[in-house]
Chain A
């Protein structure tokens, strides 16, 4: 229970870094939850993120188990409120003034400027994840296969993650 304020702080802070997608915040999420507070290991973080790809809805629900492991149901609720509350409020406010900003020339500048930066952040996040998830040629092959298939065919990403699970069992069960 003592950890609740820390959970709230960390996840509210991290939520403001998810510009472009949840992955943009991954390096910071890793630093705070793994290195600073040691709520879980990097492997567990990667596993949660990956399993989260199979859950329905928004793709950052992997934060729920972190809160739950640290402080039970209360932890899960705090993490959810902290992660989704403040950014939702910001979105609500900006959404209401957005049309009034239509004439403001900097609006386009901000949108154009943040697009490549958010892609850079997403890429940086996925490289942080890759360091822990792609550790040998077999995992590299699985990642590459998923990448190529998704770019070539309009297949549901969740199916590919399930495929990864099957291949994982077949490849690594013996070793």
Chain B
């Protein structure tokens, strides 16, 4: 999504964008129904460019909160923006809106799978779909890594986490809490001259 910031003069007084609960629901429902593949560019396009509910910096901030917290990025962004626009009701409207279309589609897909999942044609297709999805997930991780892994310490933390879960069969919460606390301590606040890393 090209972020073609049109040089429109920002409103002199920063008037907070407004949207009714119904508008929030409809807006997120549309994004939820039409976003295929990675949903983030669709959210940005729909929320920043088309509706102006938030500016680019605000969106990036919501994104960074969402990435740190548990929950999917898309639903966390929905909750955060919905809350800023219309409080708790806005949050719920955004969350339900963005989830509803995919949930209905998958409900129907689940029924179809149950009836036809054993046919050779479907099995063959699913083999290909699963393999391609694996490649897709790996690509997403590589891209995420390129963006946020900065030093040797980061790579060590990645490897330790993978080994803990896949080799030592440590359950995910222990890995998250264990390696997570070490990682947070590694990046603990340092006094003033905290420019060095790893």
Contacts and interface: CB of A to CB of B under 8 A. Distances in A.
Interface in B23-38: 31-38
B73 interface: yes
A91 B66 contact: yes
A146 B99 contact: no
B154 A116 contact: yes
B107 A65 contact: yes
B79 A88 contact: yes
Interface in A140-173: 140, 142-148, 150-151, 156-161, 163-169, 171-173
B162 A120 contact: yes
B35 A48 contact: no
Given A53-B136, A126-B138, A142-B135, A22 B72 contact: yes
Contacts of B166: 27, 124, 127-128
Interface string A19-33: 111111101100100
A47 B128 CA distance: 10
A165 B80 CA distance: 36
B52 interface: no
B136 A58 contact: no
Interface residues of B, number: 97
A contact patch SS:
helix
Interface in B83-133: 83-84, 88, 91, 95, 98-103, 105-107, 109-111, 113-114, 117, 120-121, 123-133
Interface string B181-195: 001111111000000
A59 B186 CA distance: 32
A101 to B, nearest CB: 10
Interface string A108-140: 111111111111111111111110111000111
Given A92-B91, A151-B142, A121 B74 contact: no
Contact of A21 (B72, B134, B139, B161): B72
Contacts of B38: 157
Interface string B41-78: 00000000000000000000000111111111111100
A84 B99 contact: yes
Interface stretch (B3-11, B12-20, B169-177): B169-177
Contacts of B134: 126, 129-130, 133-134, 143, 146
A48 B144 CA distance: 24
B166 to A, nearest CB: 5
Given A27-B166, A156-B36, 13 more contacts: A51-B106, A53-B133, A57-B74, A65-B110, A68-B111, A109-B185, A109-B188, A110-B68, A111-B68, A113-B183, A123-B161, A142-B128, A157-B37
